[in-house]
Structure 1
Amino acid sequence: MTVQRCPWAGNDPMMRDYHDREWGVPEHDSRALWEKLILDGFQAGLSWSIILRKRDAFREVFKGFDPEIVARFDEADIERLVTDARIIRSRAKIVATIGNARAWLAMCEAGEDFAAFIWGMAGDAPIVGDGVHLPTKTPLSEEISRALKKRGFKFVGPVIVYAWMEACGIVDDHVAGCFRRKN
């Protein structure tokens, strides 16, 4: 019996496993949501399979994606990261990650929980797509993008935000017939 998946999972075992176990699973942990947002920012202009293959290295160099540690990174850390071939060596994305850690912490210091903020904007429940039309951005991803930028986040345009919303289960965009689709 053949299992039907979303076409993007393809035949790559790592992508299939990611599709089958992670993509679209509602994430409510603020730190995990931040990590996934950062990885989606690094993915901009690249394929997700590249990021997935480098994810463990990203976790290592960004200290488990602990925003409190990453926010203290300095120019020496940036120089170290732009020479580390195990990750995407984009200075702009690395600098944005450090700034995003600081923005995440500022939200916490202001009493704003990242997960509650994001899920609240989405109506506190996953948004189920129609399984046929798969947008690259929506009015909600545009709204979240603007709200994140207002708080100082970078590499959070509406297309990146929408891909992140799908990855984190804020949106269920599994295609019709996919075994992971809820209805």
Structure 2
Amino acid sequence: MTELLEDPGVVIGEDGLARPAWASTDPLLRDYYDTEWGMPVTDERGVFERVSLEGFQAGLSWATILRKRPAFREAFDGFDPDIIACYDDQDAERLLADTGIVRNRQKILATIRNARATIELREAMGLSALVWSFQPETTPKPQVFEDIPTTSPESVALSKELRRRGFAFVGPTTMFALMEAIGIIDTHLLGSHRRGTSGIWPQ
């Protein structure tokens, strides 16, 4: 059983911890929220995986992607850019036939394309360093879910730069979600037990 706190933005769970409504009921989402979402990810493969999954999430719920994540990881060789960059038409057809993942041809081809673009980025600053270079000077301080923006000047600029470098399915909203997920910004509600836990931003 969960109860609303005096703070209208969060819900207190049976464990006494305050979370946003979206992370307060489904055990999978709650665990993801408590252990992963908003924590810093700085390695190339980790950032590439999240770019890929955020792209697949476009038009769908994150819960759908999270439930399919183990299948995604298996189908895409652990999101190793070096392996995915070598995928051919046969691999694309294999993925389109895989019922465990989101079978969208454009998104599958974009993931392959993005793997190749990720490798090309190594000659410059690398994918992770490029993405993190768009960290803003301040982070949102939302009291309720409606206070959280869906884009920012930085996510717009990041989207534009990634597109310039050959990436696809990296729109401003998708990149804002990426920035939230890997700790570049902190959009945990002020009343949440996770606010400020990334070590990047103070509460």
**Normalised TM-score (structure 2):** 0.85
- Partner of residue 135, structure 2: 122
Secondary structure, counterpart of 2:148 in structure 1? coil
More helix by share: 1
Aligned to 1:149: 163
Displacement of 1:119 in angstroms is 1.3
CA distance in 2, matches of 1:81, 1:115: 26
Cα deviation, 1:144-167, whole Å, max 9, x if unaligned, reads 000000000000000000011101
Counterparts of 1:156 and 1:93 in 2: how far apart (Å)? 11
Deviations 1:63-94 (A, max 9, x none): 01000000010100111111110000000000
Q: CA deviation at 1:14?
A: 0.3
Aligned to 2:125: 112
Of 129-138 and 58-67, more deviation after overlay is shown by 129-138
Name the % identity. 47
Q: 1:46 aligns with which of 40, 46, 60?
A: 60
Within 5 Å, which residues of 2 pair with 1:19-168? 19-108=33-122, 110-122=123-135, 127-132=138-143, 133-168=147-182
Cα root mean square deviation, aligned: 1.2
The answer to whether the 8 A contact 2:150-2:176 is kept is yes
- Render the CA deviation track for 1:96-127: whole Å, top value 9, x for unaligned: 0000000000101x23221112212215x8x5
Higher relative contact order (CA 8 A, sep 6+): 1
Return the alpha-carbon distance in structure 1 between the equivalents of residues 54 and 114 of structure 2: 13
Partner letter of residue 130 of structure 1? K
Rg larger in 1 or in 2?
2
Unmatched segments (≥5 aa) in structure 1: none
**Pairwise CA distance, 1:50:** 0.6
